[in-house]
Amino acid sequence: MFVGSFTALDLWGMLNVNYPKDDPALLSAVTVISLGGAAALFGYAFWKRGKAAVQGVAVPLLIFAASAGAAFSPWLVKNASEAVRYGSPIHVGTLLNGTLFPVPADVRTVRTESELDAIDRINADAAMSASGKTTNEDLGRYFGYENGINNYLKLPFNLTYQRNQPGEYTEITFVFLVFLPAAFVFLAYRHPAFALAPVAVIAFEYFYFFNPYGSVALTKFFSDILLPGGYLVIAAITLLPLLGFHFALEKNHAHNERFLANLAFLCFYGFVFVIAAYGIVWYGIAVYVLMFAAIALSLERAVSEDGGSSQGGFLTALTVFAIVMTYFFQSAIPHGWKNFRGAGFSDYKASKLSQEEAIFASHPDYLPALATLNLKGGTGLVDRIVGSISDPATKAIVLENLGNDRGVDKLQQILDQMAETSPESVSGIPPERIRTMNSEAKKARTLLFESVLYPKPEDRNGETIYRIGTFLTYFISENRKRYLEDSLVQSF
């Protein structure tokens, strides 16, 4: 049903999946076959399980969908009305992302029509090439640049060992690589021989990820499997555990029922994560939660009465505890302490700084750039800010220090110094006078920041601009309407 609906609604591109957009016959066939297969499977489930069982799944699902729809409806209504207002087509893309207003690049003065057509064809391709390499550098540094389907199949290893993108924020630890196959040994199998399957997975991990000879041979084999056909291989490998455990585990067993229910979602969602998330860890939060649940459900039986002797259960629990605590004391706790010591925005969190003050405290170089980008030239902002100061003595000090310089960065410098001056640090001036200066300077600084970040309509700059980095973008007024399209540099 997922494959059929995503193909019918042309949504694969939103997942940056490589698929033949220019073959409508193939896409129609995939849609019909997938939705037909879904109908057959739902019909079989209805026949096999009965009406009550199907209702037991359908009713909670409908309740969840209605609740989620209600929560998202304001956003969807806003995006739909925006699309109607600006004449954009209403489809899934505009409903999710709203209507963007990139200024189209006109490069006809430096490119012929045939060259532009060729560029359009290149840009129309998916972000993932047939060789399995992404054309997006920002995503490639998380994903890697190996050929074929190796980047997908090596994700467990690459993420665990941080081969492509190191850093605390991308660390998922070794817990999953160690426990996922090993914990499955303790499930209630129909025959003890089936417990060898997880052992085989561990052996495959060793030869593919660690053994130098096996890794070279398997990497070469998977590098020859190209996309989009390679997605079928990835799907088979990702979904194989679900099929295997369904037939290998004991039927009507409480532990197994819970394990399989969790595994169904883990395998399906894991497949989507593998093909669409480029190895970006935080896109897969649900995957890791489900993995923890799979590990817990597997080990639950190992320490339960029907899983074996009490001594074996105790030793298993002790081993698991030792491994997990080793991780906490070697990784989580040191990282947590390091993060605590280096925590940013502490003054904002303690309410010592407002949101606007915190922005420019952490990015002091942004003010002159944002004043240029957000405000029309010649708005007299500095003079207006100085004019807003009600205390004559404070205003006189600001004007004296400004001189002929009417730059916003110079004004911020003066106001910062006046706002932070301590009454105890100045001799010969009453403390009350210093506190008045502090208060006036802070108010003027707040007005300065707000005027730059949220300019009034009559002061707002409407000129088109090139995209500038990532973070500065968030503070540029009306940036959704003013950007030249991102492909402009590529076109040139």
- Which amino acid, 442? K
Of 30, 75, 78, which Cα lies nearest the Cα of 231? Answer: 30
Q: How many CB atoms lie within 10 A of CB 31?
A: 17
pLDDT at 39: 95
pLDDT digits (tens, 9 = 90+) for 162-203: 888 887 778 887 778 777 777 787 888 888 888 888 888 888
pLDDT at 236: 92
pLDDT at 18: 83
Assess whether pLDDT exceeds 70 at residue 126: no
Structure tokens at 321: 């505890």
SS3 134: strand
What number is the average pLDDT over the span 17-38? 90
Q: CA dist 117 to 112, 113, 146, 491, Å?
A: 9, 6, 29, 11
> Which region among 124-128, 315-319, 446-450, 470-474 has the lowest average model confidence (pLDDT)?
124-128
The answer for residues whose C-beta is within 8 angstroms of residue 128's C-beta and 6 or more apart is 16, 17, 18, 134, 135, 227
pLDDT digits (tens, 9 = 90+) for 93-112: 788 878 776 666 667 777 78
Q: Is the dihedral of CA 420, 425, 431, 434 positive or negative?
A: negative
pLDDT at 447: 93
Higher pLDDT, 370 or 254: 370
CA distance 385 to 417: 16
Assess whether pLDDT exceeds 60 at residue 308: no
- The strand ranges marked E within 40-156 are none
> Which region among 8-17, 185-194, 325-334, 441-450 has the lowest average model confidence (pLDDT)?
325-334
Please report which confidence band the pLDDT of residue 82 belongs to, taking 50, 70 and 90 as the band edges. Answer: confident
pLDDT at 69: 92
Higher pLDDT, 259 or 429: 259
The answer for residues whose C-beta is within 8 angstroms of residue 283's C-beta and 6 or more apart is 273, 276, 277
Assess whether pLDDT exceeds 70 at residue 311: no
What number is the average pLDDT over the span 373-390? 86
**465 pairs with which residues across the strands?**
483
Higher pLDDT, 364 or 451: 451
**375 pairs with which residues across the strands?**
460
pLDDT digits (tens, 9 = 90+) for 284-295: 889 989 998 998
What number is the average pLDDT over the span 218-223? 95
pTM of the model: 0.69
What number is the average pLDDT over the span 52-56? 81
pLDDT at 10: 83
What number is the average pLDDT over the span 236-261? 89
Assess whether pLDDT exceeds 70 at residue 489: no
Please report which confidence band the pLDDT of residue 215 belongs to, taking 50, 70 and 90 as the band edges. Answer: very high
What number is the average pLDDT over the span 254-277? 90
Please report which confidence band the pLDDT of residue 12 belongs to, taking 50, 70 and 90 as the band edges. Answer: confident
Structure tokens at 332: 């989580």
Mean per-residue pLDDT of the chain: 85
Whether 444 contacts 451, CB under 8 Å: no
